[in-house]
Structure 1
């Protein structure tokens, strides 16, 4: 139980590093370029002892001070230690890596990304407007008010430094939309269409809802097919197919909303499902991993279809942004102080 708890925490904590802030905007501001971008020509990585004001990461002409790293550490620790305890970071993911090790690398990666995006935002004249700056200030003030005196000292927390971290994140979100403004947002109804079905699956290859491994030979499949034919007769007589399916299916779920690209069912079952009208039931369908009986609850779930359209657009935007970010990264140098890793602790 403890192992599962920490394993889940590991995934959450690492993911949270890049999502710990909120804020999103789609309009370009009219403010002058960020003052940090104007002073980056004098940045030098620290080669000696690391202090709060030492530059420990350099991304192109932008720098990250150790105090910024500490600010980020506080945000992450504050979010997870209340639920999982301070020992979380010592838990081993594998023989050589702890959750803390992984989180530290992700913190460095995220700060690097924010600075690189900020550099390119400055090049394109993308800045924060007054409302966005005010929001960052308000969020920073709230965080500082809640922080203990000891944590403020340990993690170099002050309103200005935390405000800048929030601003970096808001700017990165803003740049996401600027950089993906020409992404294809045309999604057809057919491409995004979602339907709701109830179904019975008897598994011939895979893992059933009880965790049992199944890999049937031809004889086993023949018996299963015969059994499914009998179940089809029973299903047609059932007062409620959904209830009947929930009791008799071997799959982990019996009611789902799916699109044509789903991997939950075999392709043969998906094709059959999309051919059904609302309130209609299929015959027995044979697939690569099992046999199915499908009942169509809704042959056009409009809300789910709309949500899928939005998701497809977001996937396209994300793909485009990753490609542009990779180009920015290839055109920039990223350097980290050798002394930094010696002192960097969560």
Structure 2
């Protein structure tokens, strides 16, 4: 994300209305205390409502109107799970702010001005009643944007300490071409139908015939086409989970240019040829994946250490007043590029009552 992308994300877009809102919630109430710093209800409510709006806009269509009361795990509703995540994120933001000096991090004048511009835009484009429901006053929006900006800068600084050296051997990805002889077929009505045991035996004979011919073919893909089959390309290593385990094990045991026999998987028979023991593009992509995993692990370990040393107290009575089932919050926005350097939204909060 570019430097102003975070600001763009909260530049405007909430449509709040229906039901009762936050009964008895005062902006100055304290939701939680992180060491000596209070997380006030206005900050918690605004970030919670923005998160709620994202879920209700993009997921409610297939999760249903009762998405928040549905069970996400044993003993917890979907609302409980999402709220737990929001509160933990907020606590972490305050810890990042507390530790930002250790990484020589501060907000530049440009960042401060961008935050003020975005908060002012939100204020001018949304009605008073709607802003009150989501605690969307200018100071609160500025504070949330400030926390998000600090979060991103601290994360970047912490992750910069991760080891970025990855050898070809550690990341090596092989490549193969393979043909699938599926255990299912499609009937005249377009329904998927499982093959009978007798049909599977016939299919196996076809696969064995193909494997025998493919072993001597100079071009595996061309031979597959000649035989009325479709060859697919794939990259893999011994731990790949996107391909059938049996196919990966068989191909991983071969040298470059070698062809498997018939490999029986859970959903079909396979025949494959290893085309490279070191696919350069896939290996380089795997290196980046490994670096990203290291960066995330370092960030997680750092936050865990901060949390272990911190004194965090949650005021459940206040936090419980922010209920997703008592207020509908959705997003309305025009097309905008979230990766541009300029705030482009023309969004507004709209009362739907």
Q: What's the TM-score once normalised by structure 2's chain length?
A: 0.66
In the alignment, does 2:250 pair up with 1:269? yes
Whether the aligned pair in 1 keeps the contact of 2:105 and 2:154 (CA below 8 Å) is yes
1:50 to partner: Cα distance: 4.5
1:188 to partner: Cα distance: 1.3
Q: Which has the higher contact order (CA 8 A, sep 6+)?
A: 2
Partner of 1:156: 135
Whether the aligned pair in 2 keeps the contact of 1:198 and 1:241 (CA below 8 Å) is no
Q: Which moved more, 1:281-290 or 1:62-71?
A: 281-290
1:284 to partner: Cα distance: 1.1
1:171 to partner: Cα distance: 1.5
Equivalent residue in structure 2 for 1:232, among 200, 211, 220: 211
1:294 to partner: Cα distance: 1.6
Alignment partners' CA distance in 1, 2:85 and 2:223: 48
Query: How far does the alpha carbon of each residue in 1:4-30 deviate from its partner, in whole angstroms, 9 at most, with x for none?
Result: xxxxxxxxxxxxxxxxx837xxxxxxx
Alignment partners' CA distance in 1, 2:227 and 2:307: 51
Partner of 1:22: 6
Equivalent residue in structure 2 for 1:284, among 243, 258, 261: 261
Alignment partners' CA distance in 2, 1:324 and 1:265: 36
Whether the aligned pair in 2 keeps the contact of 1:121 and 1:175 (CA below 8 Å) is yes
Structure 1: gaps of 5 or more residues:
1-20, 24-48
Relative to structure 1, is the Cα distance of residues 338 and 80 closer, same or farther in structure 2, using a 3 angstrom cutoff?
closer
Relative to structure 1, is the Cα distance of residues 212 and 228 closer, same or farther in structure 2, using a 3 angstrom cutoff?
same
Structure with greater proportional helix content:
1
Equivalent residue in structure 2 for 1:127, among 70, 81, 106: 106
Partner of 1:33: none
Alignment map for 1:165-180 (pairs within 5 Å) = 165-180=144-159
Alignment partners' CA distance in 2, 1:135 and 1:196: 47
TM-align CA RMSD: 4.0
Whether the aligned pair in 2 keeps the contact of 1:285 and 1:293 (CA below 8 Å) is yes
Whether the aligned pair in 2 keeps the contact of 1:70 and 1:156 (CA below 8 Å) is yes
Three-state SS of the structure 2 residue aligned to 1:87 is coil
Three-state SS of the structure 2 residue aligned to 1:292 is strand
1:157 to partner: Cα distance: 0.6
Alignment partners' CA distance in 1, 2:31 and 2:168: 50
Aligned residues: 288
Query: How far does the alpha carbon of each residue in 1:115-160 deviate from its partner, in whole angstroms, 9 at most, with x for none?
Result: 1222122455422223333443344344445544332111111233
Alignment partners' CA distance in 2, 1:60 and 1:173: 21
1:196 to partner: Cα distance: 4.2
Structure 2: gaps of 5 or more residues:
8-23, 325-353
Equivalent residue in structure 2 for 1:333, among 307, 311, 314: 311
Partner of 2:328: none
Whether the aligned pair in 2 keeps the contact of 1:268 and 1:285 (CA below 8 Å) is no
Equivalent residue in structure 2 for 1:315, among 293, 303, 319: 293
Relative to structure 1, is the Cα distance of residues 240 and 137 closer, same or farther in structure 2, using a 3 angstrom cutoff?
farther
1:286 to partner: Cα distance: 4.5
Q: What's the TM-score once normalised by structure 1's chain length?
A: 0.67
Structure with greater proportional strand content:
2
Partner of 2:70: 92
Relative to structure 1, is the Cα distance of residues 306 and 88 closer, same or farther in structure 2, using a 3 angstrom cutoff?
farther
Query: How far does the alpha carbon of each residue in 1:225-255 deviate from its partner, in whole angstroms, 9 at most, with x for none?
Result: 6553223246559874676899679xxxx44
Alignment partners' CA distance in 2, 1:244 and 1:128: 64
